[in-house]
Amino acid sequence: MLITVKEANERLDKYLANNTDYSRSTIIKMLDGGFINVNNKQEKASYKVRENDIIEIKDGFKEETDIVPVKMDIDIVYEDEDLMVINKPSGLVVHPGSGNYDNTLVNGLMHYTNELSDINGEERPGIVHRIDKDTSGLLLVAKNNKAHAILTEYFKNHENIKREYIALLCGVFPHDSATIDAPIGRDPKDRKRMTVTADNSKEAITHMKVIKKYKEFTLVSCLLDTGRTHQIRVHMNYIGYPIYNDPVYNTKKATEFGQFLHSYKMDFIHPITKKEMHFESPLPKTFQDFIDSLDKDQI
């Protein structure tokens, strides 16, 4: 990973913590281990970055962790010897990180089975892709490295897999459908957020279709051509119709349930058997109950 510095006079470890998915403590370990160079040289964590510095983060770093199996109820929609399809509840983090090493889906999967791929290291066994903590719905898990590698290619090449989400938007969207083609990168004003930007961004395409319109809300389905961090949440906010109850991208106060965004449909070619697979997941009760309460206001 290469990063071109645009902000000066900030500590190297702090800058990277704000501009990557690594924690500050992990970055310090990577610096001590020689996995990070600045302008082709090793620097200390206290190094003050300068504009136009080139930071290289090398592959191969493995952090010792104390991730332990934790017994939990996992909603397994489908399982065979190669993969699982999980229905993740809102509020559950997919994999350990940022100090949370005990209460994630990975902890539950490790308790459930010893058969998980290890391509993504000790912290992400079986994890091919992820959805946000407060996004609910369908998630693929690989049980061996062969299936994992093939599924990763599906996601990388945007082929042989289709994911569809349901979201409740604030406001009445005036059209029946839309395609948002707008690149996404980290928000320079808040590094914990993503935003539509031309700087250090990646292509992001979301196809949105209206399901129902209410007096103050719109229920939509979203198909992804790409899989960027917070993609649907960022794109809906970008067009002026943020997802209801989103604590990050909506200015209104949110409840603990978080954004009303659900991964409800998944189609893919099985990586080993090549069989066409199709799965659907009903909306969480909190989401469905709120929709039901709006039915009287449908327009």
Lowest-confidence pick of 11-25, 79-93, 124-138:
11-25
List the catalytic residues: 132
Residue 132 · residue 169 · CB < 8 Å: no
Q: What is the pLDDT of residues 2-35, one digit of tens each?
A: 777 777 788 898 888 877 777 787 888 889 889 9
Hey, what long-range contacts does 211-214 have (CB within 8 A, 24 or more apart)?
A: 211/166, 212/298, 213/172, 213/173, 213/298, 213/299, 214/172, 214/294, 214/297, 214/298, 214/299
Phi, psi of 155 (to 5 degrees): -70, -40
Q: What is the pLDDT of residues 167-190, one digit of tens each?
A: 999 999 999 999 999 999 988 888
pLDDT band of residue 99 (cuts 50, 70, 90) is low
How many Å apart are CA 96 and CA 86, to the nearest integer?
17
Total Cβ atoms within 10 A of residue 87: 21
pLDDT recorded at residue 239: 97
Residue 94 · residue 130 · CB < 8 Å: yes
87 Rama class: left (phi>0) / alpha (psi -120 to 50) / beta? beta
pLDDT recorded at residue 295: 78
Average pLDDT over the chain, rounded to an integer: 90
pLDDT recorded at residue 203: 93
181 Rama class: left (phi>0) / alpha (psi -120 to 50) / beta? beta
Among candidates 142, 156, 124, which has minimal Cα distance to 21? 124
DSSP three-state, residue 133: coil
CA 37 to chain centre: 27
- Is the overall model pTM greater than 0.85, yes or no? no
How many Å apart are CA 91 and CA 93, to the nearest integer?
7
How many Å apart are CA 98 and CA 25, to the nearest integer?
9
Tokens found for residue 98:
């940022």
79: pLDDT strictly greater than 60: yes
Query: In sequence order, which residues have a C-beta less than 8 Å from that of residue 84 and are 6 or more positions away?
Result: 76, 78, 126, 140, 141, 143
Q: What is the pLDDT of residues 224-280, one digit of tens each?
A: 998 899 999 999 999 999 999 999 999 888 999 999 999 999 999 999 999 999 999
